[in-house]
């Protein structure tokens, strides 16, 4: 039977491989995944949507557990996912090696793309205000409600895109410059749990246990993610 999963967009790139490995070992349990920002996942579950598993930001999973939508006893920690910057493939990479150079590169850009629906965009918006560069960047920025910000590089709307590195990697035709410098970095931490409405709670629990195996950790590491315990 199919296992239905709500997952944060950040895992979509590594899950291209994760799904293949899971299906090879569990051909009788295909995965059906709905990809959304954590804010959208929480909204849909609050409105009565159903699935077996949720993978979302730590705060989102906390609230779902508090509301009885997710089973706290099933909860696992998944990964920390860093935020990075991308450019169109072949473009000159900006210097983002430290905070001052990041600020200079952001201000020099024609337009910077970010999404305010996702956890990385929420952090980036807060960072811009802390750095006192929110007004000039927002005036010419490309702010999208949801989705992959690197698509704005390909369609010519922006020349820098900011998002979790794993999400940037989902778009062809771009180059990831690297992670934000430590002074500006806020990795997005993801947790997972079985939903209390799950039709297959035992299989859902088995899937979560499998996510903690070394084979899956190795896949996450390939996308710059670090295992959370």
Task: Give the 3-state DSSP-derived string for 143-157, with helices as H, strands as E and coil as C.
Answer: EECCCCCCHHHHCCC
* pLDDT class of 119 with cuts at 50, 70, 90: confident
Separation of alpha carbons 156 and 174, rounded Å: 12
Mean pLDDT, the chain, rounded, equals 95
Percentage, residues of the chain above pLDDT 90: 88
pLDDT, average across residues 194-219: 97
Determine contact, residues 201/215, Cβ cutoff 8 Å. Answer: no
Please report the pLDDT score of residue 224 as a whole number: 84
Say if residue 178's pLDDT is above 90.
yes
Say if residue 198's pLDDT is above 90.
yes
SS3 (DSSP) at 14: helix
Say if residue 3's pLDDT is above 90.
yes
**Is pTM, for the whole model, over 0.85?**
no
Separation of alpha carbons 216 and 52, rounded Å: 20
Radius of gyration (C-alpha) of the chain in whole angstroms: 18
Say if residue 118's pLDDT is above 90.
no
Determine contact, residues 23/32, Cβ cutoff 8 Å. Answer: no
- CA nearest neighbour of 12 among 152, 205, 169: 169
Over the stretch 122-146, which tens digit does the pLDDT of each residue have? 999 999 999 999 999 999 999 998 8
Maximum CA extent, the chain: 53
Both tokens assigned to 166? 């794993």
- Which helix (H) or strand (E) element contains residue 6? strand 3-8
SS3 (DSSP) at 109: coil
Please report the pLDDT score of residue 10 as a whole number: 86
Say if residue 116's pLDDT is above 90.
no
- CA nearest neighbour of 5 among 56, 58, 46: 56
- CA nearest neighbour of 221 among 58, 96, 80, 37: 80
Residue 156 — left, alpha, or beta (φ > 0 → left; ψ -120 to 50 → alpha)?
left
Separation of alpha carbons 159 and 172, rounded Å: 15
Separation of alpha carbons 63 and 72, rounded Å: 10
Which is it for the CA torsion 116, 122, 124, 126, positive or negative? positive
Residue 92 or 224, more confident = 92
Say if residue 87's pLDDT is above 90.
yes
* pLDDT class of 37 with cuts at 50, 70, 90: confident
């Amino acid at each position: 039977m199919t296992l239905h999963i709500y997952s944060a967009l950040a895992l979509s790139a590594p899950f291209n491989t994760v799904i293949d490995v899971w299906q090879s070992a569990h051909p009788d349990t295909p995965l059906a995944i709905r990809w959304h920002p954590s804010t959208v996942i929480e909204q849909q579950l609050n409105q009565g949507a159903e699935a077996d598993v949720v993978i979302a930001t730590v705060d989102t999973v906390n609230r779902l557990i508090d509301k009885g939508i997710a089973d706290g006893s099933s909860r696992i920690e998944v990964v920390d996912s860093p935020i990075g910057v991308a450019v169109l493939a072949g473009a000159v990479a900006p210097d983002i090696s430290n905070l001052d150079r990041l600020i200079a590169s952001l201000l020099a850009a024609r337009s910077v793309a970010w999404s305010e629906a996702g956890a990385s965009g929420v952090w980036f918006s807060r960072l811009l205000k802390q750095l006192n560069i929110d007004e000039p960047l927002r005036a010419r920025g490309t702010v999208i409600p949801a989705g992959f910000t690197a698509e704005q590089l390909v369609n010519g709307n922006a020349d820098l895109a900011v998002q979790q590195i794993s999400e940037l990697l989902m778009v062809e035709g771009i180059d990831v410059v690297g992670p934000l410098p430590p002074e500006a970095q806020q990795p997005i931490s993801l947790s997972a749990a079985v939903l209390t409405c799950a039709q297959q709670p035992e299989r859902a629990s088995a899937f979560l246990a499998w996510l903690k195996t070394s084979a899956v950790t190795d896949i996450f590491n390939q996308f710059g993610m670090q295992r959370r315990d």
